[in-house]
Amino acid sequence: MKKFVMFSVLLMLSVLGNAQLSSDSRPEVFRGVIYDLRTSRPLEGAEVKIQTLSGEIHTMTDESGYFTLSGVSKSPFTLVISMTGYQDKVLEQVSRIDEVEYYIGLEQKGVRHPGSGL
């Protein structure tokens, strides 16, 4: 009987330990909105890319500037956002925080006028 109780306790501790480990390391969702810094309007069609040591995942923003990336680990990653007509934004060592939507603004590229030296 003692062996059975001891086995049951060890089994239960093992299950609880694995459940805690898997909830801390399982991939999650990273979401937010990309917008124009000057006008505050959402940007449709911006590419949002997450780069990690194990690879990269990417998506595009919808008509509301909204994006969702699934399978993002909790370990820090590099976030790259790009869109035609805007300066690329690269954020290093980003850590995903549970239940947070990120609002990230992009700056328009400067327009060059002939002869203006810009």
- pLDDT for the residue 66: 97
| pLDDT tens sequence across 27-55 | 588 899 999 999 999 999 999 999 988 88
* Residue 15 belongs to some domain of the structure: no
- pLDDT for the residue 74: 78
| pLDDT tens sequence across 106-115 | 999 986 556 5
* Residue 42 belongs to some domain of the structure: yes
In total, how many domains does the chain have?
1
* Residue 12 belongs to some domain of the structure: no
Domain extent for 56: 27-106
* Residue 14 belongs to some domain of the structure: no
* Residue 79 belongs to some domain of the structure: yes
* 80, β-bridge pairs: 49, 90
CATH at residue 70: 2.60.40.1120
Q: How confident is the model at residue 10 (pLDDT cuts 50, 70, 90)?
A: very low
3-state SS class at 77? strand
Sign of CA dihedral 31, 61, 89, 36: negative
Token pair 């690879």: residue: 55
Token pair 């049951």: residue: 8
Sign of CA dihedral 57, 62, 66, 68: negative
How many Å from the N-terminal Cα to the C-terminal Cα in the chain? 85
* Residue 16 belongs to some domain of the structure: no
- pLDDT for the residue 18: 44
Nearest to 61 by CA among 92, 35, 95, 89: 35
- pLDDT for the residue 25: 54
Token code pair at residue 69: 């990336």
* Residue 100 belongs to some domain of the structure: yes
| pLDDT tens sequence across 55-105 | 899 999 999 999 999 888 778 899 999 999 999 999 999 887 777 889 999
Nearest to 27 by CA among 10, 48, 52, 8: 52
CA distances from 85 to 1, 36, 60, 88 (A): 73, 11, 15, 9
* Residue 18 belongs to some domain of the structure: no
- pLDDT for the residue 41: 97
- pLDDT for the residue 16: 43
